[in-house]
Structure 1
Amino acid sequence: MALVVAGERSGVGKTTVTMALLAALTRWGDRVQSFKVGPDYIDPMFHQFITGRACRNLDPLLTSETYVQQCFAAASQDAEFALIEGVMGLFDGVSGREDVASTAQMARLLNLPVLLVLDCARMSRSVAAIAHGYRSFDLRLHIAGVVLNRVGSDRHLTLLKEALEPLGLPILGVLRRQDEITPPRSPLGDSCPQTNCQRWEKLCDRLASLAETSFDWNQLRPLLKTSQTKRRPGQCPAVDAKIQNPKSKTRLAVARDRAFSFYYADNLELLEQLGAELVFWSPLQDTALPEGVGGLYFGGGFPEVFAAELAANAAALAAVRAAIQSGLTTYAECGGLMYLSQSIVDFDGNAWETAGVLPTAAVMGKQLTLGYRRAIAQQNTFLYRQGETLWGHEFHRSHLTHSSENPLYHLRPYAPQSPAVLEGWQSPTLHASYLHVHWGARPEVAARFVAACHNHLAT
């Protein structure tokens, strides 16, 4: 068993509730595995800061329904408790007609009960209508109980309980209005735990203390308890034996620091299973690349927040530029793409020099590009064969001043009537795109990356 924390909509407090539950269980010394529905990178960082374990993204569109089920089972097998944080509202996904990519789909796929978080501010008896509607909308789901969030007073709580009583729906938690327990949110990256560990440690301590007295643990613990009995460390599903590993380990330099922190845990573990030795380094602090590497991996993140620091590390920029120009196999996503451009122009209009590999600049703006994309490879590269299709996700507030003459992808949003675009930069040894990709259901793509890195060292 495990529990899915869902909201009736975005912003009702499901992340706060999830973090509070994780913090209390961790304080008590329990092994708890967390998951996040969808492609998000931020909430998983919150989870990992609390539990000390990699949070797993469960996304049937980026991967597959089968992979989601396998990932959940594999990652939970050494945990005593498991908790899944949903995305947006319970039934919100990529379509208004079906539950694809929604929290509801995840609960249904994994056959798990739902803990519904209700924002009770500015209402009383109406809470019963909302709870009843969510419980009856899809009878395939089991709503195990509700958490009443942002309760204003004892009188307010009495009204809410009176309204919900006829439904027979258990109230498993009550949180009062406390703005100081809300996780800091910022589109600019300065809310991430690694930017202020002391602040986050205090927040987690407050959340754990709050959770100890605000939830009905007698009812919650059985719902959170896993049914797994194995005790090997939780990992992503094993790679099919038909995918050949190189005969020797291949060192792969992975940019990982405050500026580059967007990596799916499954992707990193998959690379290791396929024969990569991951060597983490910091474009912010290190002045040289790790020695003896066959490739570079730049994930996403917030390079725009740290653009001045990145620009100040001229030695790292020069090392990256020289390595890529000499043919070192390189994979870059979103923030990594920005870092490889000529410059990053921040929100104030300041231009900061970057690696200068791509003949374009990344300019920050107010418009957010967001959503799933169906990508079709436009030509053969070290990762893809021309015509291959995959699903990815975009999330960025920057745009490039120039487009590639030989784009990587033909991108189309989930809705088929939406306009398509050509996107991405490539060379025989370079792959750079705004598209975030999860390799869980496409291990052959990760295998090609490792093979290309291995071949570079062999030449």
Structure 2
Amino acid sequence: MIEEINIPRILISGTGSGAGKTTLTIGITRALQARGLKVSTFKCGPDYLDPTYHSYVTGKTCQNLDGWLMGKEAVISSFLSASKDTDIAIIEGVMGLFDGHSANSEAGSSAEIAKWLGVPTFVTIDASGMAGTFAAIASGMKNYDLDVPIRGFFANYIGSKNHLSILESASTPLKVLGGFPKSYDQSFPERHLGLHSANSEILSAEKLLFWQNLCEEWLDLDEILKIASSAPPLSVTSKKETPGKQNNCKIGIAYDEAFHFYYEDNLNRLKQEGAELIFFSPIRDKDLPEVDGIYFGGGYPELFADQLSKNSVLIEKIKNFASAEKPIYAECGGLMYLSSEIQNVKGEIFDMLGLIPGKTVMSSKLKSLGYVEVHTEKRTILGEAGIRFRGHQFRYSDLLIENEEDSLYSYHIRKRKSEQTTKEGYTVSNVLASYVHAHWASNPNIPKNFLDSCRRLSH
């Protein structure tokens, strides 16, 4: 049975990174909340950081929507699930509107998401020092792919109200719905290694109110809402309600300032397969909860290495958990925590768990960035050999191993734009750690397999 669901929605895209998408998304979210509307937010692409900003503002988890990692069905399903009981959904794009898998493909781009979800799209343009050229850029964006539902433009970094009036009167193919003046003193501060999670210092009440007021003064919010409400219904095949699986497997989720990079969809899939998620803090907790398996996500262990290293009571309990051959799965920051030590950019060394041989060495330079495909070469806690899934890497560290043995590796990783593969997926007993942030929508069997391993090995 086909069901049609109406969800007012917009996508805020740009001509490229740095156009001001995040600031606009946060400002509009706050302005609409001030009108009493329930807002759900989403982020195109694999990024973990911008979603923390949106989640902080809404108090509701911001979901990632990534066409290359998830596929169309999972994108639509995640969007519909997270948009329940909401008045409007706001999606922030990734990079430029048409930037994705490659220069000649929209796979993985905001444009792809806009098409799949039929979402009215606005393009943010850096309009500093522009007049007629703004119209030329707007025309190029509108006409590049007529199937992308572009419905208007935002002019960012403008000089004055008069400058905005000039841009609004230019021969743009669609309406300019406002813009932001240059407000560098209210911009978000530079972030650790280019990245930092949202908190009350970065997103102060005063700063949020500033951007909210700016939206109310400089943007045509009524027209934005009107366009959002014009979004076509999404057609989905309704499924019969099936009883939820019994929560008969407890998974410990490391979650605090050091570890909080998780795809919400991964956690939801664990719950759908019957997991009870129990959150704990490797920084503060002395007790490891009674669980059947542990999931260490990514984050900033290097920033909290001193506190992590000093929590020797919990470290010993995690080591005992591993010695009992119970499953531990770790990604990026989690891998760093499981290594023997972390050396920060100052050269300071902090002892870690030592469950994975090798030490983590931080760098001020980016070490890896981009999508990857993983092929497992042997059986792991994620299932039999031959499993394939997709993920993303973003790291400023390397794992240095003195005496490498083939038995340590369980993955072959291929970068999206390369045919070469590298060995990865560090495995010791039932511990599996990797720099790859895996998205399990690319292989829905993985959460089930992981829980099966946890159930089998917990006794």
TM-score (norm 1): 0.91
Tell me: CA distance 1:456–1:205, structure 2 relative to 1, closer, same or farther (3 Å).
farther
How many Å separate the matches in 2 of 1:229 and 1:49?
29
The answer to whether the 8 Å contact 2:168/2:175 transfers is no
The answer to whether the 8 Å contact 1:239/1:270 transfers is no
TM-superposed CA distance for 1:103, in Å, is: 0.7
How many Å separate the matches in 1 of 2:215 and 2:303?
33
How many Å separate the matches in 1 of 2:351 and 2:293?
23
Query: Which segment is superposed worse, 217-226 or 31-40?
Result: 217-226
Tell me: CA distance 1:226–1:139, structure 2 relative to 1, closer, same or farther (3 Å).
closer
Tell me: CA distance 1:215–1:158, structure 2 relative to 1, closer, same or farther (3 Å).
closer
Unmatched segments (≥5 aa) in structure 1: 231-236
TM-superposed CA distance for 1:143, in Å, is: 1.6
Paired AA for residue 412 in structure 1: R
* Aligned match of 1:317: 315
How many Å separate the matches in 1 of 2:405 and 2:187?
42
* Aligned match of 1:28: 35
* Aligned match of 2:210: 206
The answer to whether the 8 Å contact 2:410/2:426 transfers is yes
TM-superposed CA distance for 1:248, in Å, is: 4.8
* Aligned match of 1:447: 448
Show CA shifts across 1:409-443 (max 9, x none). Answer: 111111244x3211121134211100111123433
Tell me: CA distance 1:304–1:144, structure 2 relative to 1, closer, same or farther (3 Å).
same
Paired AA for residue 85 in structure 1: E
Paired AA for residue 319 in structure 1: K
The answer to whether the 8 Å contact 1:334/1:433 transfers is yes
Alignment pair present for 1:411 and 2:413 = yes
Tell me: CA distance 1:238–1:424, structure 2 relative to 1, closer, same or farther (3 Å).
farther
Q: CA RMSD in A?
A: 2.4
* Aligned match of 2:286: 287
Alignment pair present for 1:429 and 2:434 = no
Work out the percentage of aligned pairs sharing the same amino acid: 35
TM-superposed CA distance for 1:317, in Å, is: 1.8
Alignment pair present for 1:118 and 2:125 = yes
How many Å separate the matches in 2 of 1:399 and 1:19?
34
The answer to whether the 8 Å contact 1:188/1:302 transfers is no
1:130-279 map, 5 Å: 130-162=137-169, 164=170, 166-188=171-193, 191-194=196-199, 196=200, 199-225=203-229, 245=245, 248-279=247-278
How many Å separate the matches in 2 of 1:64 and 1:128?
34
How many Å separate the matches in 2 of 1:190 and 1:132?
33
Paired AA for residue 205 in structure 1: L
For 1:358, what is the secondary structure of its paired residue?
coil
TM-superposed CA distance for 1:110, in Å, is: 1.3
* Aligned match of 2:396: 397
TM-superposed CA distance for 1:293, in Å, is: 0.9
1:359 to 357, 361, 369: 357
The answer to whether the 8 Å contact 1:16/1:181 transfers is no
Query: Which segment is superposed worse, 28-37 or 197-206?
Result: 197-206
The answer to whether the 8 Å contact 1:56/1:264 transfers is yes
* Aligned match of 1:83: 90
TM-superposed CA distance for 1:259, in Å, is: 0.5
For 1:29, what is the secondary structure of its paired residue?
coil
Instruction: State how many pairs are aligned.
Output: 445
How many Å separate the matches in 1 of 2:263 and 2:208?
23
The answer to whether the 8 Å contact 2:83/2:89 transfers is yes
TM-score (norm 2): 0.91
Paired AA for residue 214 in structure 1: W
TM-superposed CA distance for 1:29, in Å, is: 2.6
Unmatched segments (≥5 aa) in structure 2: 1-7
Show CA shifts across 1:59-90 (max 9, x none). Answer: 12111111111221222132110111000011
TM-superposed CA distance for 1:306, in Å, is: 1.1
For 2:108, what is the secondary structure of its paired residue?
coil
How many Å separate the matches in 1 of 2:134 and 2:270?
47
* Aligned match of 1:233: none
For 1:128, what is the secondary structure of its paired residue?
helix
* Aligned match of 2:380: 381
For 1:387, what is the secondary structure of its paired residue?
coil
For 1:61, what is the secondary structure of its paired residue?
helix
The answer to whether the 8 Å contact 1:82/1:225 transfers is no
TM-superposed CA distance for 1:197, in Å, is: 5.1
Query: Which segment is superposed worse, 95-104 or 426-435?
Result: 426-435
TM-superposed CA distance for 1:198, in Å, is: 7.7
TM-superposed CA distance for 1:383, in Å, is: 0.6
How many Å separate the matches in 1 of 2:250 and 2:427?
22
How many Å separate the matches in 1 of 2:272 and 2:168?
51
* Aligned match of 2:44: 37
Tell me: CA distance 1:198–1:363, structure 2 relative to 1, closer, same or farther (3 Å).
closer
TM-superposed CA distance for 1:177, in Å, is: 0.5
